[in-house]
Every structure is written in structure tokens, then in C-alpha cells.
Amino acid sequence: MLKRLLNADKRLVLRFFASFLLSAVLIALFCGLSAYAASAESGNSVTSGNSSVTSDSSNSTDASGSTASPGDYANSEQTSVGTPGSSVLQEVIGVDASQPLEIIILLTLIALAPSLLIMMTCFMRMVIVLGFLRSAMQTQNTPPNMVLTGIALFLTIFIMAPVFAEINDTAYQPYVNEKITTEEALETASVPLKRFMLKQTSNDDLEFFIKLSKTEIPEGTELTDEYKQTELPLSTIIPSFIISELKRAFQMGFMIFLPFLIIDIVVGSTLMSMGMMMLPPAMISMPFKILVFVLADGWNLMIGSLVSSYNW
């Protein structure tokens, strides 16, 4: 397989290995700098602590004015240097990791945040449908990608607002107030997301991925909503939700293309009947498409259809 890949595209393989080696070097360098900084800080704290103990032993006096002897410190209260706080990774996976490892994992989660936003919310359907609309109107880069992404993002926030509010009330606020642990907060936050994704996922796609994952369902058990939310893991629900979103997005894209395709057919047949063979039909049909879209109040129809296509 590797030989076939090398024969197909050597540059892609070389770029992959180069980026992998560069990432490994950067991670090793980052861990080394973090360990060096931690050792230097501990050395400075030990040095300052020794100096303070020396100065205190030479200058300290008791309440009666007499100089305190070294033996008097045996009964005095000792202040602890400080114990490290509970690790987030220790609460989640039960393993207490060092600080550089936690930083690397947090940076990885931050890098994966856009993928989570796209794959676990309605963002994907919005972007695909808006892209189909732009392609059907043949306006090339108008609206630009940044505008379409912004529209999809704010529509996602609008549609997912009840889900985010429930996650905030049931998981985030109790976690901030230290009423629940990190593991409990993650489990509680996954419940509204599961409920939302399952409402948009067809049973055929869900059963397909259940079979692929070889998840054993007890005999006589039906795929009820309660069973899906409590028993099925996110690793099965998320790909089922993605496939269902792709299907609905392409179905909506087909319906969007139909009226604009009719305009193209009418314009093309008119130009051929007039003998204008060298005139591009797309150049003539595009103004008519924009005119029809504006007169039909297309943006309200498009946004209303997208919002109403979701089950609550």
C-alpha cells in the first residue's frame, strides 16, 4: 500500500513525513523547555528558602526579647510548600500527568475544536447548502467564502442556542461551582448533544453504523429514544449524524438547482433559436437568476427552509 502511495504522489508522502518530524521536534523542544523552566524555578525557590531560613534564624527573637535558639523551631508551626492541585486529566482518565503533557493535550483539543464545531452541530449542512446556492446561481466567488462561513456560523448559534443553554445550566455552571467533577460534567454535557444529533439522524444510518461497530444489542430491545441516548456511545452517533447531514444537504442542493436549471435551459434554447451560438449562456442567465432570486425573497426562503429542516 505504501509503495502504491509513493508511486501515486511522492510529494504528498514527503510533505506528510516532513510535517510529522517537525511536529515531533517541536513537541520535544517544548517539553524540554518546560522541564528546564520547572527545574530552574524549583532551584530558585530552594535557594530563596535557604536564605530566608538563615536570615530568620539569625534575626528572630521571641516575645520576651531573647534570641531564639535553633531548638525552638521544633515546636513551631510549619507551613507546607504547597501541593499540586488536582489534574484535569486525572479526573477524566484517572492518570495524573505532568504539566507539559496537559498543555499538549489542551492544545490538541483547541486544534480539534473547529472539527467538533463542524461535525457535531448543524454547521456542516448550512455551509454545504449555501455553497450549492452559490454554484447554482453561478456567481463564482460572490458571496465570498468568509461571508458564507459567517452566515453558517451565526445560523448554527441560532439553532443550537437551546442546546448550548442546557449544557451551560446542567454541566458548565455546576462544574464551575465545584458541584460536579470533570468526568460528570462531560457526561452531562454529552446528553443534550446526543439528543440533538439523534433527532436529525435517520434510523437507517444509525443501524448501519451500529452494525459496522459491531455493537451488541440485547435481544428484544428496540432502538427507543431513551436507549439511544443512554446506551449508544458518541463514537457511533457522530458518524451517523454526519452521514444524515450530508444526505439532507445534497437533497436540498438538488432542490435548489432545479429552478436555476430551468432558467439555464430557457436562456440556452432562446440563444440557439436566435443564432447566437458564440454567446455564453451563463453570461446571460446569471442576471436573470439574480433577479428571480431577489424577487422571490430568496434569502428569507433559504434561511427559513434551513432552520425549519431541523427537528426540535
Checking 217-226 for CB contacts under 8 A at 24+ apart, the result is 225/198
Alpha-carbon span 275 to 38, nearest angstrom: 80
Provide the pLDDT for residue 225: 72
Alpha-carbon span 289 to 295, nearest angstrom: 10
- pLDDT at residue 255 tops 90: yes
The residue to which cell 430568496 is assigned: 298
What is the chain's mean pLDDT, rounded?
76
Alpha-carbon span 12 to 2, nearest angstrom: 12
> What sign for the dihedral angle of Cα 5, 10, 16, 17?
positive
- pLDDT at residue 142 tops 60: yes
Closest CA relative to residue 285, chosen from 301, 307, 270: 270
Neighbouring residues of 18: CB distance < 8 A, sequence distance ≥ 6: none
**Comparing 25 with 84, which gets the higher pLDDT?**
25
Alpha-carbon span 130 to 269, nearest angstrom: 28
The pLDDT tens digits for 170-195 are 988 888 888 888 888 888 888 888 89
- Which grid coordinates belong to 48? 530563596
Provide the pLDDT for residue 32: 62
Provide the pLDDT for residue 82: 40
Task: Report helix, strand or coil for 217.
Answer: coil
Alpha-carbon span 5 to 259, nearest angstrom: 43
- Which grid coordinates belong to 283? 453570461
The residue to which cell 458564507 is assigned: 148
Give the least confident one: 49-63, 228-242, 289-303.
49-63
Alpha-carbon span 306 to 288, nearest angstrom: 24
* Residue 17 identity: F
The answer to whether the CB of 174 falls within 8 A of the CB of 149 is: no
Alpha-carbon span 174 to 166, nearest angstrom: 12
Alpha-carbon span 311 to 195, nearest angstrom: 10
* Residue 284 identity: I
Provide the pLDDT for residue 176: 86
**Residues 168, 171, 173, 175, Cα dihedral to 10°:** -150
Reported confidence tier of residue 240, pLDDT bands at 50, 70, 90: very high
What does the domain layout of the chain look like in residue ranges? 145-189
> What sign for the dihedral angle of Cα 19, 24, 30, 32?
negative
The answer to whether the CB of 136 falls within 8 A of the CB of 257 is: yes
